[in-house]
């Protein structure tokens, strides 16, 4: 019989909402920034990397849905996303 570990997903109010928010990742067993979670979750699933712990992670999926809904509803995350993009671009210019 095939059993899949499904960690308890915290209620919506307790979910991280900003890219800089830190939360406890159930699969990795450590504190993680939301930005790292979203990056790893999206890469693992978009590229179908089944060996990554983030592949089909229920916590990562909930984090992605919450982040997307907040960004859509509030529009407040646009400046945060833009600032991160600009910082990433500056990092690549220094190479």
Q: Which of 30-39, 55-64, 77-86 has the lowest mean pLDDT?
A: 77-86
Q: What pLDDT is stored for residue 78 in this prediction?
A: 65
* Bridge partners (DSSP) listed for residue 33: 22
Label residue 30 by pLDDT band (50, 70, 90): very high
Contact status, residue 70 vs residue 16, Cβ threshold 8 Å: no
Residues sharing a CB contact under 8 Å with residue 28, sequence separation 6 or more, in sequence order: 53
Q: Give me the sign of the Cα torsion angle 52, 56, 62, 67.
A: positive
Residue 8 has pLDDT above 60, yes or no: no
Q: What pLDDT is stored for residue 42 in this prediction?
A: 94
Q: What pLDDT is stored for residue 92 in this prediction?
A: 64
Cα–Cα distance, 53 to 25 (Å, whole number):
11
């Amino acid at each position: 019989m095939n059993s899949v570990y499904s960690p308890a997903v915290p209620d919506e109010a307790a979910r991280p909402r900003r890219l800089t928010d830190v939360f406890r990742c159930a699969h990795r067993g450590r504190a993680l920034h939301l930005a790292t979670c979203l990056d790893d979750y999206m890469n693992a699933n978009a590229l179908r990397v089944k060996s990554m712990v983030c592949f089909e992670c229920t916590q990562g999926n909930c984090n992605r849905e919450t982040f997307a809904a907040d960004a859509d509803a509030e529009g407040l995350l646009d400046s945060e996303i833009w600032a991160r993009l600009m910082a990433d671009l500056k990092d690549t210019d220094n190479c």
